[in-house]
Amino acid sequence: MAAAGRGDAGADPASNPGTVAVCFCESTPLLWRAGDVRTARQTGVVGTLMGSLARQPRQNCRLGRPLELLREEARLLADAGRAVLLSSSRPKSTGAANPELVKQHQEQMDQSYSEQSQLAQQDKKAVLLRVMADKKQGSNQSDQALQERLLALDHGFTFPRTAMAVQLSTARAGMSYGPEELRFLAADSLSPRDERQEARYRVFRDLRRRGFYLTTGGKFGGDYLVYPGDPLRFHAHFIAICLPMDEALSLCDLLALSRLGANVKKTVLLCSPGAEPEEVLYTSLQWSGMV
């Protein structure tokens, strides 16, 4: 049966072991390589997987690569020097096929085909042998038939080309259609556009420094969900809402936020960057009950 596997191969510009290649898909930072996802997780950047999972594509519980990063996460990685920001322009279809690469691809396919046909033959033989071993106590005629089949297998086995398994790469495999125009973006392409984004980034950086893990908090009405450890092992403890210091918050909004936090059993954190460059002030809201 035909099957397609997904994997990646080949060298990319950012091939340092500790650096991740952040590729932008119209202003959304994405991580494509499995190694990058692992590295990012080790530095505490969680992100969200948003592609189909190769083994089980038709479900939404567990998704696969690419990993979508928040702008703040990408910026944190870039500031720490752990990320290379890339953006590729769309290729021109008028370019001619690169004959070398086509030949290389064909050779790879042929090699894979021969390997697979050998493995398929061995597989079939093993099946027949097992059947023979099970039928050891059986009659002689069936034994003979099986022997004949084994012989036929050795001589005339054909593996149809359409049954070959082909690998469909997830990340850019390096054998592409032409010279990719990868643009290395400057880090200030991620700089905040307004005060609110700046506030978000400073809060993110500070909470990361304190060792918390952060993911998006849209489902709970806030900016971030704050976990004491890896999100796979803990529930969120806080809902972080980032506000510039001098922004006024009406009492109705405050009440709505505290009600929300009480209902989902999380503490609401109002976070504001302070005057000092590294200072962030936190206020927590917790429903304490009737006094």
Partner 1 sequence: MGFSEHGKQLLLPEEALYLMECGSVQVFLHDLPLSIQEGYEMFLSKDTVNLQQYQVFSHLKRLGYVVSRFDRSTVPSHYERQLNLPPERDGHGRQLKRKRSRSPSSQLPDGQGGVAGESLEMRGGETKSQRANPEDGAAGLSEPEAERMVEDVPVPSGVPERRWWVEGGADLPQSPTRPRHRGWVWETITLPDLGAHRCQPALAAPDPSLLPGRLSVGVCAMEPWLRRLNLRPERLSRRERERERSRYRRDVNDDREVRHCRSWAEYHELRRRRRNRHGRRNRPEHLWEGKVTPLLQPGQHTTAGDVLDKIGVVGASRLLDGAAGLEDSEGWKISFDVFQPDTVAEFKKSSPGKPYSRLCVCSFEGPVPDLRVLKQLAFQSGDVPVTFAVVDHGDISFYCFKDFQLPTDTSH
Provide the annotated active-site residues: 227, 235, 266
Q: Does 119 bind partner 1 (CB under 8 A)?
A: no
Q: Does 265 bind partner 1 (CB under 8 A)?
A: no
Residue 290 CB, nearest approach to partner 1 (Å): 33
Residue 114 CB, nearest approach to partner 1 (Å): 16
Residue 183 CB, nearest approach to partner 1 (Å): 12
Candidates 64-72, 121-129, 142-150, 251-259; binding stretch for partner 1 (CB under 8 A):
64-72
Residue 89 CB, nearest approach to partner 1 (Å): 9
Q: Does 290 bind partner 1 (CB under 8 A)?
A: no
194 contacts: CB under 8 Å, gap ≥ 6:
none
Q: What is the distance between the alpha carbons of residues 179 and 96, in angstroms, rounded to a whole number?
A: 11
Q: Does 30 bind partner 1 (CB under 8 A)?
A: yes
Nearest CA among 279, 284, 286, 285 for reference residue 209? 279
The sign of the dihedral angle between the CA atoms of 244, 250, 254, 259 is: negative
Residues 148-207 that bind partner 1 (CB under 8 A): 161-164, 166, 168-173, 175-178
Sequence letter at residue 63: L
Strand order, beta sheet including 267-273: 213-216, 224-227, 238-242, 267-273, 280-285
Q: Does 218 bind partner 1 (CB under 8 A)?
A: yes
Site string for partner 1, 77-116 (x = CB under 8 A): -----------x-xxxxxxxxx--xx--x-----------
Candidates 28-36, 242-250, 254-262, 279-287; binding stretch for partner 1 (CB under 8 A):
28-36
Q: Does 2 bind partner 1 (CB under 8 A)?
A: yes
Sequence letter at residue 79: D
Q: Does 121 bind partner 1 (CB under 8 A)?
A: no
Contact 172, 12 (CB under 8 A): yes
Q: Does 256 bind partner 1 (CB under 8 A)?
A: no
Q: Which two tokens stand for residue 125?
A: 């033989």
Residue 190 class from Cβ within 10 Å (0-12 exposed, 13-18 middle, 19+ buried)?
A: buried
Q: What is the distance between the alpha carbons of residues 188 and 221, in angstroms, rounded to a whole number?
A: 29
76 contacts: CB under 8 Å, gap ≥ 6:
45, 201, 204, 205, 208
Q: Does 22 bind partner 1 (CB under 8 A)?
A: no
Residue 150 CB, nearest approach to partner 1 (Å): 27
For partner 1, how many residues bind (rule: CB under 8 A)?
A: 58
Q: Which two tokens stand for residue 21?
A: 């290649």
Nearest CA among 82, 89, 93, 77 for reference residue 24? 89
Candidates 58-66, 127-135, 206-214, 273-281; binding stretch for partner 1 (CB under 8 A):
58-66
Q: What is the phi/psi pair of residue 117, to 5°? A: -65, -35
Which residues lie near partner 1 (CB under 8 A)? 1-4, 6, 8, 23, 25-26, 28, 30, 32, 48-52, 54, 57-60, 63, 65-66, 68, 70, 88, 90-98, 101-102, 105, 161-164, 166, 168-173, 175-178, 216, 218-219
